[in-house]
Structure formats: structure tokens, C-alpha cells
């Protein structure tokens, strides 16, 4: 590990409305837990849970309060992937190491969420720091966080999905400057984790999860075009690859629910961003590698 970063804890998807996002992801066969609302921010979220990671769908619920720049993101890009939360077992240590490596890691702070169960509210909490924009170029927005109450968000009933999804394999995006992106990712994730190549930059986490940041033509060849952005020349995250138990199961579910899907290869199924809050979803049976 470098800077104490262990894994992709969760990708963050920006949405305009949580009720609409819930319907969208339930149609894709996900179990969507009750809403969360951030105590310190004016944002709320839906967290689709897997055994070791999850997907956060975030929207503004009180525009008069701090939104962690979600309003700016929606104005510039629309719905879709807006960043990554990396996990650490000790955020204070990670913060200190990032400072030593020349990363502007801000301050360590506490974030609390109201987890709005119908019968009761619980209050999951986290400690996190937020590296500066120049230090995470290509990833849009990053937090490094430590879960203080993981048991409150991983109730057994939240981990079973009709589509058979069991985890996050990789995140992909589009970049223009390979050298700049690779140098920033090496400071964040370590030299051995990051490889620059003719198509872009690939980073691998200790868990085997992967980040692929590709030149535009290479991104579009694999994942198709990113939609909903005015800033065509800036780096942009666009796609998630998720692991499922059976492609046959999810293919039948998508067909039954009227979701158009494609097969970019024999080992994957693709759902277009129009059917997933602006995010291209690839489903595969293969483990992260």
C-alpha cells in the first residue's frame, strides 16, 4: 500500500434526484437501501452495498448548504461518475504520508450520515481527507476515508441483488495528458501501482481493483462516448465495471425490465449511461485483476 490506500471503497455517481435514481437502479436489479443524508453537508445519498465495496449515488437535498461541489459538477457535466472514495484503515496516518509525498491533503475531518431507516435512524460516521484537485488530476474528485461504523451500512439484506452483482472491479475515464495523470497517480497510489502506456494510464489497487484512464479514442472504443459534458477537453470519469455471479441472470433481468443492453465482448454486458444515471455500466463474471 502507498499512503495507506487499500482499495476503491466506492465510486460516487452524481444524480439530480434520488427518487428517480432509486427507480433507475432498482430497474437494473439492485437492492437500494434507505436514503442517507449528510449531517455536515446539504447532500443525500443512496448506497448500493456489496460485501467489500459499494456504489454511492449522491444528490443535493438542501441547496442552501455546502454540497461538496456537487452543484458545480452537475452544472458542468450533468449526471454520472464524479469521483472515487479510497479506503484506509488509518486516515490520520494516510494524511501524514500524503503530506510527506507532497500532496495537498487538506485537513482530516469527520462526516456523519443520517441513515434513514423507516423504523429508526442510525448514524454511520467516517473520518476523511480530500486531496487537492491538482494532486488527483484525471480522477475528478477524491476522498480518502476510514469507516468508523462499518456495521451500520452493511446489513445482510442490503448485500443481495436480483442481478447477482457482488462488487466493483474497475473504474474508467477519459484523459488527454498521460504524463501529467501518471505522475499524479504515482504520488497518490505509488510507483508500482501505476503504469503509463500508449493508450493512457492504468492503476491497480492492492485488492486487484483497477482504474483505467484512457485517451479519448481508446475510451470510446471500449466504453462508448461519455454523455452530458460541456467540458470535452477535461478529464472525465465515465464507466464502472461490476462483477456479477452470472451474465445469463442479469441478461434475462435486463430484458424483462425493458433495459436495452449490448455485449461488447462475450464476457461482458453493457448498459448505456442513459439507463444508469449518466454512467456506462459493464457487467462481467470475472474477478478484479
Rounded Cα gap, residues 166 and 284, in angstroms: 10
- Grid cell, residue 39, equals 449531517
The DSSP secondary-structure symbol of 288 reads P
pLDDT at 232 over 70: no
Q: What is the pLDDT of residue 233?
A: 64
Residue 48 has pLDDT above 60, yes or no: yes
Residue (of 16, 88, 84, 11) closest to 47 by Cα position: 11
Q: What is the pLDDT of residues 163-216, one digit of tens each?
A: 999 999 999 999 999 999 999 999 999 999 999 999 999 999 999 999 999 999
Closest CA to 109 of 86, 87, 130: 130
Domain range annotation of the chain: 7-158, 165-284
Alpha-carbon distance 191 to 208, whole Å? 16
d(CA 114, CA 118): 12
Of 135, 133, 145, give the one whose Cα is nearest residue 102: 135
**289 and 267 Cβ atoms separated by less than 8 Å:** no
Q: First and final CA of the chain: distance in angstroms?
A: 16
Which set of grid coordinates corresponds to residue 73? 459538477
Q: What is the mean pLDDT of residues 223-234?
A: 70
Q: Which CATH architecture has domain 7-158?
A: Roll (3.10)
Q: What is the DSSP string of 158-169?
A: GS--TT-EEEEE
Q: Mind listing the pLDDT tens digit for each residue in 111-163?
A: 999 999 888 899 999 999 999 999 999 999 999 999 999 999 998 999 999 99
Residues 33-52, mean pLDDT to the nearest whole number:
94
Q: Largest Cα–Cα distance of the chain, in whole Å?
A: 54
124: left (phi over 0), alpha (psi -120 to 50) or beta: beta
Tell me: pLDDT of 246 over 80. Answer: yes
* Among 32, 73, 46, 24, CA closest to 162: 32
**Under CATH, domain 165-284 is a member of which superfamily?**
2,3-Dihydroxybiphenyl 1,2-Dioxygenase, domain 1 (3.10.180.10)
- The answer on pLDDT for 285 being more than 80 is yes
Residue 228 pLDDT: 64
pLDDT tens-place string over residues 52-107: 999 999 999 999 999 989 999 999 999 999 999 999 999 999 999 999 999 999 99
Distance of alpha carbon 258 from alpha carbon 44, whole angstroms:
28
Q: Do domains 7-158 and 165-284 have the same CATH topology?
A: yes
Whole-angstrom Cα Rg for the chain: 18
Q: What is the pLDDT of residue 234?
A: 77
CB 84 within 8 A of CB 139: yes
Amino acid at each position: 500500500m502507498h499512503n495507506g490506500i487499500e482499495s476503491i471503497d466506492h465510486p460516487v455517481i452524481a444524480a439530480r434526484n434520488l427518487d428517480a435514481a432509486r427507480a433507475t437502479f432498482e430497474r437494473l436489479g439492485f437492492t437500494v437501501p434507505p436514503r442517507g443524508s449528510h449531517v455536515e453537508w446539504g447532500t443525500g445519498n443512496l448506497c448500493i452495498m456489496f460485501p467489500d465495496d459499494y456504489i454511492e449515488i449522491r444528490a443535493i437535498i438542501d441547496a442552501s448548504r455546502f454540497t461538496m461541489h456537487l452543484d458545480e459538477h452537475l452544472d458542468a457535466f450533468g449526471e454520472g461518475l464524479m469521483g472515487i472514495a479510497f479506503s484506509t484503515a488509518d486516515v490520520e496516518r494516510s494524511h501524514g504520508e500524503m503530506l510527506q509525498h507532497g500532496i495537498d491533503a487538506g485537513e482530516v475531518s469527520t462526516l456523519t450520515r443520517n441513515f434513514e431507516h423507516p423504523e429508526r435512524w442510525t448514524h454511520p460516521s467516517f473520518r476523511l481527507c480530500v486531496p487537492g484537485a491538482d494532486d488527483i488530476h484525471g480522477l475528478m474528485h477524491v476522498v480518502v476515508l476510514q469507516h468508523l461504523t462499518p456495521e451500520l451500512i452493511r446489513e445482510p439484506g442490503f448485500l443481495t441483488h436480483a442481478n447477482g452483482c457482488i462488487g466493483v472491479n474497475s473504474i474508467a475515464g477519459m484523459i488527454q495528458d498521460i504524463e501529467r495523470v501518471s505522475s499524479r497517480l504515482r504520488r497518490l497510489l505509488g510507483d508500482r501501482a501505476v503504469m503509463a502506456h500508449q493508450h493512457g494510464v492504468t492503476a491497480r489497487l492492492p485488492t486487484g481493483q483497477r482504474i483505467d484512464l484512457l485517451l479519448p479514442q481508446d475510451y470510446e472504443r471500449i466504453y462508448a462516448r461519455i454523455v452530458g459534458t460541456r467540458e470535452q477537453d477535461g478529464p472525465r470519469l465515465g464507466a464502472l465495471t461490476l462483477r456479477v455471479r452470472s451474465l445469463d441472470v442479469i441478461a434475462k433481468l435486463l430484458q424483462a425490465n425493458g433495459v436495452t443492453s449490448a455485449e461488447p465482448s462475450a464476457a461482458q454486458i453493457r448498459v448505456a449511461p442513459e439507463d444508469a444515471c449518466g454512467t456506462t455500466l459493464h457487467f462481467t463474471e470475472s474477478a478484479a485483476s
